[in-house]
Structure 1
Amino acid sequence: MKARQLGISTEAGVELADEAFWENNRTEAIIDWRLPEGQKKLAFIKFLWDHLDYVPEGANRERRIIAWLMREKKKRLGTVKKDGSIVPLTATANKLAFRNGSVIYTDNTFRGGTTQFMHVSELAKMAKRFPDRAREVVNGGFESVPTNGTIIVESTHEGGRSGVNYNLMKNAMAKVGKPLLPVDWRFFFFPWYEESRYQLDVPEGHVFKDETIEYFNRLKEIHGVDVPDSAKVWWEWKNGQSDFNMNEEYPSVPDEAFDAIGDDAIYCAQFRQLRRDGRIGVRFVVHPYAPVYCTWDIGVADHMATVFFQKVGGETRIIGGIQAKKSCVLDMLVKVREFEKSVGFKVSRHLLPHDGGHHSTNDRKTNKQVLEENGCHDVRLVPKTGSVWLSVSEVRSFLPSTVWHERCGEQIEDGSEEGLPGVLDCMESYHVDQNGKIDHDDCSHFADAFRMFIEAACHGLIDGFESSIVGMERLGGDQYQDAGCAEVP
């Protein structure tokens, strides 16, 4: 994991070139989130090849001897053209091949064959924009590298606490300080403040902003990171730029990158403000007299999610959430009961989406009937709202009054090695795709369950809550468009 523009991919390119030039029969691969980016990295290796025998002006005898030796090496690896230049055996935008049997490819995925050295660049960006391709890299590309091979994965992290890159980083971080097997990942973190380009001379009489002082004091107190004033000046200047995501682009510690909210996140502005206001990761106990609501997102034997809310005074407390794959309503209810017992409360009202009233079991029972027959005394169906984006707008208005318990950020153990992201991670990662449409990935189930609370409130199913959008419960999709509101985030 790294901050931006630290030269890690350049260093990886030097390693790839070094092994291809000096070792026989090497197969090496560069995988990038987009093919043109990988081609640039391969062009850099071609640049190294072209300059192996370069003689700078005023070179001494030793440097000239080295250049002559490198030219002889190039003759053995490549082809001498009529004009005296020496080129690789094959040199295209996607492939460099040499007479010693070594070859370097670039692509945005890889599968098959045996690869001794693989450099994967910007896996986080790929995982966020092209998740299927990222999984193919992990499941196909990584498997092509033998246990005595090398894989370098470097990325400025995006996507919060979900996705292929996060899982890879998390697993590597868990092994820090422990004995490693040859097949284990070794974690490296390169922060911004160690780079001299990210430091400025401190102007005479400069007074740091309160936000800057508070941030670096917290960084030192919690993480033991002591940053020089020259780096603080640069950070203060960069942080002052409009809508710049410092935690994502220039993290000081790994957790900052994981907590960063991308600009394509639907609730990015709201959660950034919630974090600044200290409403995330709060410890509180469930109020003994205020009702607790459990909202459901129901999948058919697939992916289910529930979120627990409690309204206390002028704020709504998010107690936590549960999600599970390949589960039925009864399986999920068992998990709900376990959560109630562990935290110490009883759900007052269960809120199901409108299709919870459809027949979904072999005995023709609805999910609402199943819950009622298994001890849930107040189960309500939330009518379908005409526009998802209208509900999203209401959620945005509602979020500033929320407080999130620290357990909301915990990963959910489901028996798999990777586990499932928690409700906070999913809400922060809920995003639109490149076409501006909501991306229905593993994060959308919690987001749908959360939105169910707002839709229930707009239909009068939450005590003491009134919608800020008058008539939302009556406005259907066609009416929404007629009112001049486009279906855009």
Structure 2
Amino acid sequence: MASAALVDQWSQPLWRLNNLYTIRDKGGNAIPFRTNWAQEKFFEDMWFLNLILKARQLGFTTAIQLYMLDNCLFNSNTAAGVIAHNREDAEAFFDDKIKFAYDRLPLGLLDRLGATQDSAKSLAFANNSKIRVGTSLRSGTFQLLHVSEFGKVCAKYPDKAKEIVTGAFNTVEAGQFIFVESTAEGNSGDFHDMCDKAQKDEKEGRQLTKLDFKFHFYAWWQDPSYKLDDEDTAATLITPDDAKYFASVEAIIGVKLSQNQRAWYVKKRQTQKAGMKREYPSTPQEAFEASVEGAYFVTEMTKVREQGRICKVPILNKPVDIFWDLGVGDAMALSFRQIVGSEVRWVDYYENSGEGFEHYARVLNEKGYIYGRHYFPHDGDTRSLGAVAKTKREWAIEAGIRPVEIVARIPTEAAGIEASRAYLPSCWFDEERCQRLIQCLDSYRKEWDDKRGTWKDTARHDEFSHGYKSFETAAVAPRSQASKPIDLTRINRGVV
């Protein structure tokens, strides 16, 4: 019986994970690996294709890579791959997690299952299984694939993210395993979109196929160690605003947070600041709403949310001014604004590409607002070089979009960003109609310098630039120009 029980134990991957492998702890010491609460829950709920959105320090990278190593050691003809966003991290994963655990296996196992090929990036075994690391892994076929911090890859290297989706994911056949784990990096990109779809599938109760990703979320409040033990101190830390925040979280998660948990969160936020909701999210929605690394308006947009200025904004029976970004061969963005007292209310947003001004005139008429003025950036008076040399303002007026005013060119990119920062504290945004504009303001960021490993001083031109630039047009417009009285007898309910 003892022999049969022993064989049964060795046949169980989770038993092997908790009894055969050694890892480094945070102090660099070699300790036996033991699954924690989050890892256990994940292995219980694991699907073929897995998306893992999580708080920091839950050890998913280590657990998944040990799981892959174990599969290669105890199953023949198994190929496993690990993708990191750069070569240094890929090699560190291999050395610190995979190779470290492999080198410390019991000697009997090493003699029986030892590698036939051992390099800085791969291990190959006598059973024809292998595990390797890289930054793309487009070639070959894998039975297990792990993509670490995919959200950061999407944010800093969108082209590499596309390569992973179209290349590496396609090396894994249906019925095999993919693990994509990350903290969130903004409300856009492949990781966000994949998680969004997987959550919708779950909410709608759809039966997952072997080609569908399953969504897994692990919040800070689920970790039993994330609490402040000093109850007397805990009671003094929670402000009325904090209490309001925790009440809103509890309403969503259906769990009552203890005073010690609340206090831990408040103390941790003192060091994490705007990154708190990204690194230690309470809900999936909050994780993706959190600030993006390198984003220009982290502080301002955090305040917008804390002060409840993203909400349902009514469109009043008064003129709506429109601020444009004029795309040339790419997106055209229109931000719709009403001013009520000291409040700047953004009531609508529209974006499209490849269309002439006649298209936008039709869209404006269909919306049916009372229109005030249209504000174009400085290039609105630049003449085209085609057969008919007209300015964009002239083309717009000819299409029925008027009156059009040109906002003077700002001296530097930095000046426009500073003007937008100064403008945001007075702004309110409709939560539905302006969702894309909010996304653009959240995601407008600096360019990443991969060679130097730092952010450049210049903005990245991407899909969010146009929406931001339409907002910037309003921010840099002289207040005297933006508040000119409008002769309502000269405008119609539609484009004029």
**TM range, normalised to the smaller chain?**
0.7 to 0.9
Cα RMSD, aligned residues only:
2.1
2:98 to 24, 45, 48: 45
In structure 2, the CA distance between the partners of 1:265 and 1:464, relative to structure 1 (3 Å rule), is farther
**Matches of residues 122-133 of structure 1 in structure 2 within 5 Å?**
122-133=149-160
2:398 to 358, 363, 373: 373
Residue type matched to 2:482 in 1?
I
Unaligned runs of 5+ in 2: 1-52, 448-454, 486-496
The answer as to whether partners of 1:304 and 1:332 remain within 8 angstroms in 2 is no
Residue type matched to 1:288 in 2?
N
1:264 to 276, 294, 300: 294
Deviation at 1:367, TM superposition (A): 2.5
For the pair 1:7 / 2:21, whether they are aligned, the reply is no
Deviation at 1:372, TM superposition (A): 1.4
Rounded Cα–Cα distance in structure 2 between residues aligned with 1:295 and 1:110 = 44
Residue type matched to 1:229 in 2?
Q
Match of residue 452 from structure 1: 473
SS in 2 for 1:120: strand
**Matches of residues 113-152 of structure 1 in structure 2 within 5 Å?**
113-152=140-179
Deviation at 1:166, TM superposition (A): 0.9
The answer as to whether partners of 2:346 and 2:429 remain within 8 angstroms in 1 is yes
For the pair 1:395 / 2:420, whether they are aligned, the reply is yes
Match of residue 224 from structure 2: 196
1:427 to 404, 417, 441: 441
Match of residue 237 from structure 1: 267
SS in 2 for 1:4: coil
Deviation at 1:126, TM superposition (A): 1.2
In structure 2, the CA distance between the partners of 1:95 and 1:362, relative to structure 1 (3 Å rule), is farther
Match of residue 482 from structure 2: 462
The answer as to whether partners of 1:30 and 1:38 remain within 8 angstroms in 2 is yes
The answer as to whether partners of 2:420 and 2:476 remain within 8 angstroms in 1 is no
Task: Give the % identical residues.
Answer: 30
Deviation at 1:334, TM superposition (A): 3.4
Deviation at 1:52, TM superposition (A): 2.4
Rounded Cα–Cα distance in structure 2 between residues aligned with 1:244 and 1:267 = 11
The answer as to whether partners of 1:302 and 1:327 remain within 8 angstroms in 2 is no
SS in 2 for 1:428: helix
Match of residue 83 from structure 2: 31
SS in 2 for 1:189: strand
Match of residue 418 from structure 1: none
For the pair 1:436 / 2:488, whether they are aligned, the reply is no
The answer as to whether partners of 2:347 and 2:434 remain within 8 angstroms in 1 is no
Deviation at 1:191, TM superposition (A): 0.5
Match of residue 64 from structure 1: none
Match of residue 309 from structure 1: 337
Rounded Cα–Cα distance in structure 2 between residues aligned with 1:16 and 1:326 = 47
Match of residue 181 from structure 1: 209
Rounded Cα–Cα distance in structure 2 between residues aligned with 1:225 and 1:408 = 32
Rounded Cα–Cα distance in structure 2 between residues aligned with 1:227 and 1:161 = 26
In the comparison of the two structures, how many residue pairs are matched?
Answer: 420
TM-score by length of 1: 0.81
Q: Which has the higher strand share?
A: 2
Which string of whole-angstrom CA distances, capped at 9 and with x for unpartnered residues, describes residues 240-299 of structure 1? 33635211110010011111113521111111122222212x22322213x311111122
SS in 2 for 1:327: coil
Match of residue 20 from structure 2: none
Match of residue 494 from structure 2: none
Rounded Cα–Cα distance in structure 2 between residues aligned with 1:435 and 1:166 = 24
In structure 2, the CA distance between the partners of 1:326 and 1:113, relative to structure 1 (3 Å rule), is farther
Rounded Cα–Cα distance in structure 1 between residues aligned with 2:407 and 2:245 = 42
Rounded Cα–Cα distance in structure 1 between residues aligned with 2:159 and 2:165 = 10
In structure 2, the CA distance between the partners of 1:366 and 1:191, relative to structure 1 (3 Å rule), is same
Which string of whole-angstrom CA distances, capped at 9 and with x for unpartnered residues, describes residues 83-105 of structure 1? xxxxx222222111112222212
Rounded Cα–Cα distance in structure 1 between residues aligned with 2:119 and 2:225 = 34
SS in 1 for 2:481: coil
**Matches of residues 204-219 of structure 1 in structure 2 within 5 Å?**
204=232, 206-207=235-236, 208-219=238-249
Match of residue 372 from structure 2: 348
Which string of whole-angstrom CA distances, capped at 9 and with x for unpartnered residues, describes residues 396-440 of structure 1? 111111111112553xxxxxxxxxxx1101101111122121111
Rounded Cα–Cα distance in structure 2 between residues aligned with 1:330 and 1:25 = 61
SS in 2 for 1:308: strand
Unaligned runs of 5+ in 1: 55-67, 79-87, 411-421, 466-489
2:197 to 143, 168, 171: 171
Match of residue 407 from structure 1: 432
Which string of whole-angstrom CA distances, capped at 9 and with x for unpartnered residues, describes residues 150-184 of structure 1? 110000111x2111211111111111132111100
SS in 1 for 2:175: coil
Rounded Cα–Cα distance in structure 2 between residues aligned with 1:334 and 1:303 = 17
Residue type matched to 1:372 in 2?
I
